[in-house]
Amino acid sequence: MSGEIKHEWPLFEVFVRAKRGLNHVHVGSLRAADHEMALHHARDLYTRRNEGVSIWVVKSDDVVASGPDDKDAFFGPSGDKAYRHPTYYAIPDSVPHI
């Protein structure tokens, strides 16, 4: 019987908002038959001690991620743009509040 049906439910990624004012943060993954069950399992698995006030679940298959090989193409170009940072600009110490 179980030979025909896949042993595992799909994988979901879980994000928890620790408290009001903070972003949802990835906390791990779990297996569930559908989104509703994923939410319930996430509650039981990741928030047993008031770790959160809100949960997102996303099917892992639906996550599109940059890979380690994309690192240079993605993040390299910002390396030589020091002028995007405030410390790039020399302002005399005598000028207040800037």
Partner 1 sequence: MSEQVFEATIAKDQRIEPRDWMPEGYRKTMIRQIAQHAHSEIIGMQPEGAWITRAPSLRRKAILLAKVQDEAGHGLYLYSAAETLGADRGDLTRRLIEGRQKYSSIFNYPTLTFADVGVIGWLVDGAAICNQVPLCRSSFGPYARAMIRICKEESFHQRQGYELLMTMMRGTPAQREMVQDAVNRWWWPSLMMFGPPDAESPNTAQSMAWKIKRHTNDELRQRFVDMSVPQAGALGVTLPDGDLRWNAEREHYDFGEIDWSELKRVISGDGPMNRERIAHRRRADEQGAWVREAAAAHAAKRQGVPA
Binding interface with partner 1 (CB under 8 A): 1-2, 5-9, 11, 27-31, 33-34, 37, 44-45, 48-49, 65, 67-68
Two structure tokens written together for 18:
């620790």
Min separation Cβ 90 and partner 1, Å? 32
Smaller CB distance to partner 1: residue 5 or 91? 5
Using the minimum distance from each CB to partner 1, give the nearer residue, 4 or 93.
4
CA distance 50 to 46: 9
Shortest gap between Cβ of 33 and partner 1 (angstroms)?
A: 4
Identify whether the C-beta of residue 39 lies closer than 8 Å to the C-beta of residue 14: no
Burial label for 43, CB within 10 Å (0-12, 13-18, 19+), is middle
If the CB atoms of residues 44 and 93 are measured against partner 1, the closer one turns out to be 44
Q: How far is the CB of 45 from partner 1 (least distance, A)?
A: 6
- Cβ 7 to partner 1 shortest distance, Å: 3
What is the rounded distance in angstroms from the CA atom of residue 27 to the CA atom of residue 46?
7
